A and B are shown apart, each in its own frame.
Chain A
Amino acid sequence: MNKIKVALLLCLLASGMSLVACGGGSTAEPTPAPTAAPAQEQVAEEPVEAPAQAADTCSETVEIEWWHISTAEAEQAYWQSKADEFIAENPCVKINITVLENEAFKSRLTTVMQSGQPPDLFQSWGGGVLWAYADAGLLKDISPALRGDWQDSVAAKAALDLYSKDGAYYGVPWQWGAVGMYYNKDLFEQAGLDPENPPKTWSEFLDTVQTLKDAGITPITVGEGDKWPGHFWWVYLAIRNGGEDAFLKAFTREGSFTDAPFVKAGEDLLELINMEPFPEGALGFSYGDSASAFGNGEAAMELMGQWHQSVQRSNSESGEGVANLGWFPFPMVEGGAGNASDVLGGGDGIAVGKDAPEEAVAFLRFLTLPENQIQALNDVGFGPPTMVGTESAITDPIQRAIVEARNNAAYFQLYYDQFLPPAVGGAVNDAVEQLFAGVITPAQLAQQIEDSAAMELGN
């Protein structure tokens, strides 16, 4: 009997412990969601607390959870200083900033979204991914606050629309630009090319690539291991070949992604790939690897967004980047239906989660104030700002060229992998990667995207 009682007690103890062990999770801090590459993840929880004496007068502290992906030190410090300034004026607010590396951010956000608990403010590129969250009721409609002065002060209207669905607004863009060709003027000169006269058409561009190759210079670098850098190439060619019309038809399912311009885009790209203009192993480069190859002067060109200038600098061995950096718009494809001024681009914005307090919206508005954007641009090196009255502050010639391209675009297309539903965006990236790897044909590339689009967008 005694033995049994002892055993019973032990059992209870064991069961109690195991229950406590699993119950403990709910009382403890939420464990971080699993991410694709935990070792790459940079998580910095930096709760900013209002000064103690001020907090005493608050009946209740409002907490704002904010996730951003500006991992560079100066950028982190800038956001922190803005949070501090806001808290100084609103002592009852506490802002918890979580800084995440890009890829880690994406996987972690997906997880919290599926559990229905978005952060109050978070990085968003707008478009299809954001719209999926909006449809599921995970975002807060900020149009009551936005309508009027705030909305009128947004210069990048096309960008703002990407944060809106069915008349409701879920976020605001704060830096917005265009994808274009960065090039190393010294290497152009070395190959006997005129550095001030970059190629304007696709055939001129292919000639340029050949000239660089003949001079023993790697013409182009691309971070195809991350896939999205390669998708820029195919999408830009699709934009040049088919224009807005072809894309809208395919998107609204009036047409299809197997239509001629999309196949032609693959053929054009394949022609380039067959010239072997990329460094050995580019298929496995991350964007960071590629940016450092460009920054070190190991390749002459890289097709990239507005942030590339600072990234190639910080990723280069010298820390200086390319000495004579140039930028030109993506070349026009002869006979294409698009305009030479059509732009593929995108940028960063901040979206608002469904449970965000009013203070979070006020803080977002504070972040988009023109004077804060100008400071971010000039003191920190962020990309082209989005608000009225900031354009004149842009002094860097490349950034100016990007903003001009953005503002003058007859048709502005957001990156496909953000604009389209996540599954289709993923299919675009994977299909283009397979073209780079030489395992599929341009027609198969178009078909893979179409298959996914038919499933997600309807037939």
Chain B
Amino acid sequence: MDETRMLTGTASRIQANTDKRRAQWNKTVLIVACLLPGFVLLTTFLLIPIAQAMYYSTYNWNGLGPLDNFIGLDNYRRAFSEPVFRGAIKHSFIIMGLSLLIQLPLAMTLALILVRGQLRFQRFFRTIFFLPYVFSEIVAAYIWLYVYNPRGGLLNRFLEIFNPAYAGTAWLTDLDTVLVAIFVVLTWKFFGFHMLLYMAGLQNISREVEDSARVAGANEYQVLRFVTLPMMRDTIALTVFLSILGSFQQFIVVWILTGGGPAFRSELIVTYLYKFGIQRMQLGYGSALAVILFAMTLLFSIGYQRLVLHRTMAD
């Protein structure tokens, strides 16, 4: 009796073990099968090209024929000693700064008005504000080419109404106005997106929390400053992140509006890369620029996630 029980016990244990092992095996297969496509795509289209770019960046190479002129880190040295590239980095930072200081607060204000204000045509305005984001960047840029056109463009015509003697400004070719003119287009194009994110964030905040603050005697500013905005922290952190990355990677709008000109005054990192790497057929140098851009965005992303996004999640 005992023996049988023991035997069956062993058998069931063995059975349980095999089951466990099989389950484990199945699980492994499942994980591998699920990861494989992503892994293949990531490797072919991301990791290998990055490795290739790093390799090319150590050569003086015009993109045609064999790589036979190894120059070590000269391309990197050249990039950082090139005033045009330094200017491009500076412009990217200016666009970034303006986005954070003007574009995001604007988006937040509109979101607050739309969600908290007792507006009658809320949906109508929401659609209007979001509309520019739906256009492709190319369409947006071409629309603004007409607006800025020095020969009878919309903006100059509009200013003429107030000052008939106004001689007109070539907004995109004036060295002093070009970067701001581009920033206006980028704001027009992207504030709707940030606004939508803020609206979603606001809708997640219970009105009761705000109301209780009011009952406790807080004025509207205090409610906003100490209740609403702190509760929006996650959303704000996310839009800041997207906005910064977007400024570094901006290409299409600038390329169509000015091509980085006049005299490199609106050159951004990516337009510089395209112009000096691709158009001038200096693929080695272009690769070095791409690696620099990659390193910048990667470091920023990791740092930001660690310091800001991570903390928000933990809260």
Contacts and interface: CB of A to CB of B under 8 A. Distances in A.
Does B associate with A? yes
Interface of A: 1, 4, 7-8, 11-12, 14-15, 18-19, 22, 36-39, 106-107, 110, 113-114, 132-133, 135-138, 224-225, 227, 280-284, 289, 421-423, 426-427, 430, 433-434, 436-437, 439-440
Given A8-B30, A280-B150, A423-B281, 14 more contacts: A4-B26, A8-B33, A18-B41, A37-B255, A39-B138, A110-B63, A224-B262, A225-B173, A281-B170, A284-B170, A284-B261, A422-B62, A433-B261, A433-B262
B228 interface: no
A282 B261 CA distance: 12
B64 A136 contact: yes
A110 B150 contact: no
Interface stretch (B3-11, B46-54, B119-127, B272-280): B272-280
B65 A136 contact: yes
B40 interface: yes
Given A423-B281, A434-B263, A284 B173 contact: yes
A132 B261 contact: no
A15 B33 CA distance: 8
Those 4 A-B pairs whose CB atoms lie nearest each other, nearest first? A136-B64, A281-B170, A284-B173, A281-B150
A113 B278 contact: no
A437 B278 contact: no
A107 B64 contact: no
A71 B167 CA distance: 35
Contact of B142 (A39, A132, A224, A436): A39
B263 A423 contact: no
Given A39-B138, A110-B278, A225-B261, A132 B62 contact: yes
A132 B283 CA distance: 13
A114 B283 contact: yes
Nearest to A440: B263
A113 B64 contact: yes
A5 to B, nearest CB: 8
Contact of B64 (A138, A225, A289, A426): A138
A422 B263 contact: no
A281 B173 contact: yes
Contact of B279 (A14, A422, A434): A422
Contacts of B202: none
Contacts of A284: 150, 170, 172-173, 258, 261-262
Chain A interface, DSSP helix/strand/loop, else mixed: helix
B41 A22 contact: yes
Nearest to B33: A11
B256 interface: yes
28 contacts: A1-B26, A4-B26, A8-B30, A8-B33, A11-B33, A15-B34, A15-B37, A39-B256, A107-B279, A113-B64, A136-B64, A136-B65, A224-B262, A225-B259, A225-B261, A225-B262, A280-B150, A281-B173, A283-B262, A284-B258, A284-B262, A423-B281, A427-B280, A433-B261, A433-B262, A437-B265, A439-B263, A440-B263
B175 interface: yes
Contact of A4 (B30, B44, B168, B256): B30
B304 interface: no
Nearest to B39: A15
A440 B265 CA distance: 13
B262 A422 contact: no
Give the most central of B45, B259, B278, B280: most A CB within 10 Å: B280
Contacts of B282: 423
Nearest to A426: B280
Contacts of A422: 62, 279-281
Interface in B162-177: 167-168, 170, 172-173, 175
Contacts of B150: 280-281, 284
Nearest to A283: B173
B264 interface: yes
Interface in B124-173: 138, 142, 150-151, 167-168, 170, 172-173
A423 B26 contact: no
A227 B275 CA distance: 13
B168 A280 contact: yes
B262 A12 contact: no
Give the most central of A113, A114, A283, A284: most B CB within 10 Å: A284
Contacts of B276: 423, 426
Interface string B25-41: 01101100110110011
Contacts of A224: 262
Contacts of A136: 62, 64-65
A423 B63 CA distance: 12
B258 A439 contact: no
A434 B37 contact: no
Give the most central of A281, A423, A433: most B CB within 10 Å: A281
B64 A135 contact: yes
B64 A19 contact: no
A282 B262 CA distance: 10
Contacts of A283: 170, 173, 261-262
B173 A19 contact: no
A107 B278 contact: yes
Given A18-B37, A138-B64, A7 B173 contact: no
Interface string B257-299: 0110111110000000011101111110000000000000000
